[in-house]
Amino acid sequence: MELVELVRALRDHDPLTARQWVADARRAELQLADLPVPKTLDAVDLAIAAGVIELLASRWGQRPPNWTSGVRRRRLLAPPDFLTTA
């Protein structure tokens, strides 16, 4: 389960694949704090990765990885039910 796959799904406007990644991560009890920084992403994709992982960490009661705090912030908007799997 690679974070790059989630970012690609989001960039490609593929919500089904993105929600499936989230559902699989939740089912696998993925520890978000352990996710390594995705080194192959450009600045925009890295901001997407950081933002979505911080969102999931907040929802799941986890800590985000340390690297997310060093990513340059961009305005990413998501509705309240963004990437919910229920």
pLDDT, one tens digit per residue, over 5-38 is 999 999 999 999 999 999 999 999 999 999 999 9
Residue 75 falls within a domain, yes or no?
no
Residue 61 falls within a domain, yes or no?
yes
pLDDT given at position 12: 94
Residue 41 falls within a domain, yes or no?
yes
pTM beyond 0.85, yes or no: yes
Residue 81 falls within a domain, yes or no?
no
Higher pLDDT, residue 77 or 69: 69
Smallest Cα–Cα separation from 6: which of 23, 71, 58? 23
Residue 26 falls within a domain, yes or no?
yes
Residue 86 falls within a domain, yes or no?
no
Residue 85 has pLDDT above 70, yes or no: no
Residue 76 falls within a domain, yes or no?
no
Smallest Cα–Cα separation from 24: which of 40, 2, 42? 2
Q: How many domains does the chain have?
A: 1
Note down the domain range covering 17: 3-70
pLDDT given at position 2: 92
